[in-house]
Structure 1
């Protein structure tokens, strides 16, 4: 055994390979016993001698683990192991040979390593080249086969009709899909021309494109054909020249059935320009027709009219009976309106319950009004739907254009809309013709709305106070708070001009909060400086009351911030609001009452209150409307009504206030009828907080 090892050592000094002899003390433990000069270059960092060192003491952890695993495999298998090692960009072929003693135990491992980098790279390159060549050949074979199969599939299984024609346009071959597209199978078409099934209107077009394809230019076009069932079908067709040896020998045709798409396009076009419910022209189509009519009117110097129709109260039908019945009602209403129209007249639906009628080339300015009156009459007839009878009214605005000046369709629509809005605000169910004053009014309204927003920030609003006095003692017991607006350029604007706009736009909410806070601050100041006991009355609107949670929270917050007692605040709500919003207001009134506030019903006698409202709601005061006070001197009937109101209030334990007292006689009559309190210009006009104190002090208060 030792002689064999010595022989290997002598051989190692003669070979150019790296040779290492490792002593195997036991499985997994290997020491270097001999390393030839070539291999020694790998271990220069350990000095000239690494013998008797363990593998893991010489090599890196990773390399030692790798080699020890290989040593262990050779140790166990007792057979030569060959493997490659990659180190520093060099590939080594490594051969491990075990040596056993007489008892068959492995005592040594001889490791021989040689640099095979060049051969390895050559082998890799050769292998790669072989694979690429093989892959290329296979791919070409597959591509050729696939090309043939694709061609067969393309023709046979294509859902579109694929056919071959000779240069005369005769069918030669066709795939099965041609029967699905045209109803004719390939045999039925063979010998016929493609043009034979083309609709007459498109034959010239199809012949032209076929001839262009014969010249070598692929063509694509749409045409209408007649199928076997004699039905029109829309086809998308491609004609492609067939080349053999650079010569055109025929034409390929591909035809796709696009009939469903064409029907859908027509449907989309219909929806783009027509209302989906009534199928009437929509706003887009109406705009186009109005613009055409304007051009024609300017050219011919004739007259055209626009009618803007709004169905009154239609929202209630949707709210209470549902949109399904509402839609049916709209359809029938539009049909009735259509029957009122003649040629060259367009009826369009542009909104939920809004229609516009374009009358082109009318004889005179009576035409639009007469048409509107017809519509009002036909809509009066009851509508019978689902065993329910409906009656509809409508408001109609009319505008005319005579071509004398430039105008846009939108401007005419706006004019008719303004006229409709004008009549809707004044009773509905009527017709009115647009005039320029309406435009001035709407511009003023827009101006006021814009300026009102600034006024809130800039502090242009201020308050005045009108005394409410005891009828008998003439003592001032409270004051009604009235908002005023001193516009920077328009001067003082009456409340009846800006309050409705504030209600409509929602600005009444921040304005109302400002009024409540400012009035409470003033009241607190008065109570601290002049009156220990005093009350103010503040008017609230329906818009404020609709914001129930916010309104209640605002009152609580302001009372807390200002330190004003709830009992010193009187909330005035008009009788009309009580009547129109009883269910909504009932809960609100009880909440206000529970806070300790006083509640007054303002303008009593104008809203026909039911007795249940007076009985069920916690109302403290009834304010008799000024319309009764105005005529109390001239007839006994008004006085009797006032007497009845006062007696009713007494029985219900409520107090009364007579509003709008203008003279001494009215005051005397109210005193005789035992009205508790009065207010009006005869007592005192609304004045500033400072003037209010001066006047009351002057009277010894």
Structure 2
């Protein structure tokens, strides 16, 4: 609408200019005066500060000579000291292509910089030329003349030359009239002032004008038409003169032209407004016309001059413009983005449907500045400030922000905007696009979470934890202190194996929730392994703060956790280390120290916390050295077998041995199993070493049987590590050891711990069942110290139960230990299992065991663990004196019973 109004205004100004030039035709004495009028009108229409008429002539081959015929300043004060005589002729080469081509082809053109530099030489007093539009005039005496409009306030385009061609045509027509008059009379001024001469001049104008000109009377009868009109309608003057104008411009209804088309009062149309109509050629073809009317008197009669031009090109251009606008609107609505255009006050001028959809707004919601209300309040000030700063500098803006939609809530969007400028280069609002970025933002957030967060618990993973630890250590260089708490769950594998991985996952999620509840919001809780967690505590006042949190964690995890219909109890071991400002620490070192403290907490019985100290590092190095030495201990024959006797409680007769491994370290001497068995299991060497134990101990038993030191049914009890059940060679190794020693399966007892039964139920059960088929007895070692479950005794092929020494050694003084021991004996009897009591160190204890019906025992009352030679000597001495091992006399048993 605004563009149409502006176009009509420009057309009105153009017609007024044409009428002024035509109205002054009788006053125009020469071409200089004509050029002054034309330059004045064109400078006014184009807002040009300066205009001049340029004349060219060919000086010699390949060169043009330029001179200024006339010029005009919009500001007349600036032209006081200038005259055409001050302009000099200049010669230019044909390499000034834009000027040369335009003048030779009679085409309007905007001049390039090369041509402008040449024109600047015409007059040293002129202002520097820029933005010159050249409009060629008709050739004059073999020379080419052109109007040059310079230094306009608005950009000048070739389209302007096409728009003002009626005025240029009038200029050319009057120029030709002046030429004709000059050829026929010497007194041009007197001729123009004479009425008859003026009428003749006007006739000449009609004759030469490129516009179709039709003169009609008050009744709209055609009085005359000019040659251009004859050509326009394809007929001769005699065919329409004295006929109604309707012959040329058919009426849609009766008296249309008389009552409407050519009546200024109709629809409040202004007298100088252009008329759009449809003409009809002699062949019946319809053509769109644009008609300008001019009323005048001729021979005392009222006449109307109809200046017509075929507006087909204009109609096509307008149709094309409408199509382009329609296409833009369609593309804007089809575009997968919101589009908003504002004016210089940032008030909404246009918004497509996608903008309204993304922001959840209606058109009434975005009027004026209200489009900004859709931006989420926490982002609004930041985004609008950045947008203003970018646009004010003429730069594009790109930013992410949140939009608060009434329909869809808060969503993330990408906002892009670029400034718009008017013809003078001033800011004229902006064009913005809006893309719903919620999916990509959420995806990026999920990817970041996948990279930095544990999938199961949502806690920080190792990557994020290490990043935060590194940043914390960087800040620590200046001030403060921090602590690391390394944790893992006690007995988690038992839960995982017995209740399944789903239950294990539930347990980890609940533990994570409780850990998070024990720390501050600024602390970092991370899961770095299966059941391993690390907590980073920053800005600690003192070490007691870390201890306080560790105690909260221990208490929090002591509470039972509901896994479906079953309650699960767990605990944790915690290792703590510190880093303080001023002491160089690395993330790797701190993690190592926290792990050392964690191992100390486990060794201390679990469900506690321990601090890192330098002696832990010493212990860690010692373990590393032992681990390295273990790899060579077997090949260097550093392992040695020790044995402890097992005897019948009732008769004192030796029934077998328990095989015990010792390590004769070349530097540290004889090491007990607690020093190296865990290392054997960690390194996986336990499998190979156990095979060696089986072969060695069974060969010793065979030798003792053949020597008569023990009966043929004597047994050798060998402890099997849980790792053996995962080794496919375990069963063949047992078979091979029995075969090589030429012993029966009944001569071997395989001892397993309760922990082994929880490693992998199916695999363990299958392996034990195959061993049992060999005639080998299965004994459950250290019964009552682990995660006992009576279902194990029913599920697995257990033949014997070994009561742990921790219960046996205090049965005389501790009622609870006595009750537990009695309960185990009663349980074994009901299940038809034999019982071996460990740790029997006195006759009093042996007496109680006999009273309670225990079958076998072992302990210091029989012997301390001895090597092969010492065992043989002990057995030989007893045999020589025909003495059995300690047995409780009946009177001692009675006294012990009475005493209790």
TM class by smaller structure: 0.5 to 0.7
- The change in CA–CA distance for 1:243 and 1:268 in structure 2 (over 3 A counts) is farther
1:511: Cα distance to partner? 1.6
Equivalent positions of 1:187-226 (< 5 A) are 199-210=380-391, 219=396, 221-224=398-401
Q: Is the 8 A contact 1:242 1:252 kept in 2?
A: no
- The change in CA–CA distance for 1:404 and 1:487 in structure 2 (over 3 A counts) is farther
| Deviations, residues 2-45 of structure 1 (Å, cap 9, x unaligned) | xxxxxxxxxxxxxxxxxxxxxxxxxxxxxxxxxxxxxxxxxxxx
2:673 maps to 495
Structure 1 CA distance, aligned partners of 2:650 and 2:567? 56
Residue 237 of structure 1 pairs with residue 416 of structure 2: yes
Answer with 1 or 2: which has the greater Rg: 2
| Higher mean C-alpha displacement, 289-298 vs 616-625 | 616-625
1:495: Cα distance to partner? 1.5
Match of 2:469 among 290, 293, 296: 290
1:499: Cα distance to partner? 1.5
1:408: Cα distance to partner? 1.9
The 3-state SS of whatever aligns with 1:362 is coil
Q: Is the 8 A contact 1:575 1:606 kept in 2?
A: no
1:62 maps to none
The answer for unaligned runs of 5 or more in structure 2 is 1-323, 881-900
1:453: Cα distance to partner? 3.4
Equivalent positions of 1:18-57 (< 5 A) are none
Match of 1:596 among 772, 775, 780: 775
Equivalent positions of 1:83-162 (< 5 A) are 157-161=334-338
1:88 maps to none
1:367 maps to 545
Q: Is the 8 A contact 1:340 1:371 kept in 2?
A: yes
1:565 maps to 743
1:204: Cα distance to partner? 4.3
- The change in CA–CA distance for 1:674 and 1:379 in structure 2 (over 3 A counts) is closer
1:515 maps to 693
Residue 396 of structure 1 pairs with residue 574 of structure 2: yes
Q: Is the 8 A contact 1:307 1:357 kept in 2?
A: yes
RCO higher in structure (CA 8 A, sep ≥6): 1
1:496: Cα distance to partner? 1.9
The 3-state SS of whatever aligns with 2:629 is helix
- The change in CA–CA distance for 1:393 and 1:674 in structure 2 (over 3 A counts) is closer
- The change in CA–CA distance for 1:648 and 1:514 in structure 2 (over 3 A counts) is same
Structure 1 CA distance, aligned partners of 2:451 and 2:524? 17
How many residues were matched structurally? 549
The 3-state SS of whatever aligns with 2:539 is strand
**Structure 1-normalised TM-score?**
0.58
- The change in CA–CA distance for 1:340 and 1:158 in structure 2 (over 3 A counts) is closer
Equivalent positions of 1:525-540 (< 5 A) are 535=714, 537-540=716-719
Structure 2 CA distance, aligned partners of 1:185 and 1:640? 83
- The change in CA–CA distance for 1:512 and 1:401 in structure 2 (over 3 A counts) is same
- The change in CA–CA distance for 1:606 and 1:304 in structure 2 (over 3 A counts) is closer
The 3-state SS of whatever aligns with 1:407 is coil
Structure 2 CA distance, aligned partners of 1:609 and 1:193? 72
1:686 maps to 866
- The change in CA–CA distance for 1:320 and 1:236 in structure 2 (over 3 A counts) is farther
| Deviations, residues 488-526 of structure 1 (Å, cap 9, x unaligned) | 444432222111333455432222122213344555677
The 3-state SS of whatever aligns with 1:481 is strand
- The change in CA–CA distance for 1:292 and 1:541 in structure 2 (over 3 A counts) is same
Equivalent positions of 1:598-637 (< 5 A) are 598-599=777-778
**Structure 2-normalised TM-score?**
0.47
Q: CA RMSD in A?
A: 6.1
The 3-state SS of whatever aligns with 1:537 is strand
Residue 265 of structure 1 pairs with residue 444 of structure 2: yes
1:77 maps to none
Structure 1 CA distance, aligned partners of 2:526 and 2:787? 41
Structure 1 CA distance, aligned partners of 2:824 and 2:599? 37
Structure 2 CA distance, aligned partners of 1:669 and 1:313? 34
- The change in CA–CA distance for 1:212 and 1:456 in structure 2 (over 3 A counts) is farther
- The change in CA–CA distance for 1:254 and 1:375 in structure 2 (over 3 A counts) is closer
Structure 1 CA distance, aligned partners of 2:687 and 2:707? 30
Q: Is the 8 A contact 2:461 2:528 kept in 1?
A: yes
Q: Is the 8 A contact 1:542 1:577 kept in 2?
A: no
Structure 2 CA distance, aligned partners of 1:698 and 1:415? 53
1:543: Cα distance to partner? 0.6
Structure 2 CA distance, aligned partners of 1:476 and 1:243? 113
- The change in CA–CA distance for 1:254 and 1:484 in structure 2 (over 3 A counts) is same
- The change in CA–CA distance for 1:476 and 1:451 in structure 2 (over 3 A counts) is same
The 3-state SS of whatever aligns with 2:866 is coil
The answer for unaligned runs of 5 or more in structure 1 is 1-147
Residue 482 of structure 1 pairs with residue 660 of structure 2: yes
1:118 maps to none
2:597 maps to 419
| Deviations, residues 113-149 of structure 1 (Å, cap 9, x unaligned) | xxxxxxxxxxxxxxxxxxxxxxxxxxxxxxxxxxx99
Structure 1 CA distance, aligned partners of 2:831 and 2:493? 38
Equivalent positions of 1:318-337 (< 5 A) are 334=512, 336-337=514-515
- The change in CA–CA distance for 1:251 and 1:396 in structure 2 (over 3 A counts) is closer
| Deviations, residues 473-499 of structure 1 (Å, cap 9, x unaligned) | 999775543323233444432222111
Q: Is the 8 A contact 2:709 2:879 kept in 1?
A: no
